Amino acid sequence: MQSVLLNGKPITPSKVVCIGRNYVEHIAELNNEVPTEPVIFVKPNSAIAADIKTHAVDAIHYEAEISFIVENNQFIGVGIGLDLTKREVQSVLKSKSLPWERSKAFDASAVFSEFVSFEHQVDSLSLVLSINDQVIQQANYELMIYKPLQIVQAVNEFMSFETNDILMTGTPKGVGKVNQGDKFTGQIFDQGKLLLTQTWTVL
């Protein structure tokens, strides 16, 4: 079973609950429709990884997301998540109205920083992703269509969060292809104060 770190200690999520199409400008850049309810999908524990990797056949795209550790439907830690996606595979599946798992739930498709506790409410959190020292993505509470607690309520209508499961809250505009050797730097801020930073070099 794959683990992540919460305040320096390993924990093992049973799954990663993901939200698609939660930022208007990201919806526009992929020519999708604005959803009338949260778009929810799941990545298994086997998708969790610490490194960003390219694929020998399929192009991999990054999607940076504010991510939470969930316990009793409350958020006990925040971290940086990268929802890695086989975009061309996803496009084919969508065109055939088929599920996304082949493009979203493959091994090592959910890359995470360490998770840490935070002092304030979730609405004080923001994320910045830089690639090769250039700011590419910025996410915050205000830009989300569905807020984190709304998402938890929607998920609980049909599925339970187990202790230490991860919630990924969707990606803002600026997604793109992962290239070998790229340097990714993610930062989480709490009320504008740097809370967490993580750097990856794509393998």
| CATH code of residue 67 | 3.90.850.10
Total count of domains within the chain: 1
- Gap between the terminal Cα atoms of the chain: 22
What pLDDT shows up at residue 40? 96
Q: Is residue 185 within 8 Å of residue 129, measured between CB atoms?
A: yes
Task: Supply the pLDDT for residue 100.
Answer: 86
- Quote the pTM value: 0.95
Residues 6+ apart with CB under 8 A from 147: 122, 123, 141
Q: Per-residue pLDDT tens, the chain, 203 aa: give them.
A: 999 999 999 999 999 999 988 987 766 666 777 778 999 999 999 999 999 999 989 999 999 999 999 999 999 999 999 999 999 998 898 889 989 899 999 999 999 999 999 999 999 999 999 999 999 999 999 999 999 999 999 999 999 999 999 999 999 999 999 999 999 999 999 999 999 999 999 99
Backbone angles phi, psi at 4, to 5 degrees: -130, 170
Contact 112, 50 (CB under 8 A): yes
Show the domain range for 97. 4-201
Give the helix/strand (H/E) hosting 46. none
CA 100 to chain centre: 15
* Amino acid identity, position 70: V
The Cα 123–Cα 157 span in angstroms is 23
Q: Could you tell me which residues are beta bridge partners of residue 186?
A: 129, 198
Distances (CA, A) of 67 to 44, 64, 91, 97, 99: 15, 9, 25, 27, 23
Q: What residues are paired with 137 via a beta bridge?
A: 129
Q: Which two tokens stand for residue 157?
A: 């209508």
pLDDT of residue 28: 64
Q: What is the pLDDT of residue 166?
A: 98
Check residue 6 and report its DSSP letter.
Answer: E
Rounded alpha-carbon distances, angstroms, from residue 170 to 112, 119, 198: 14, 22, 19
d(CA 115, CA 124): 16
Q: 3-state class of 142 per DSSP?
A: helix
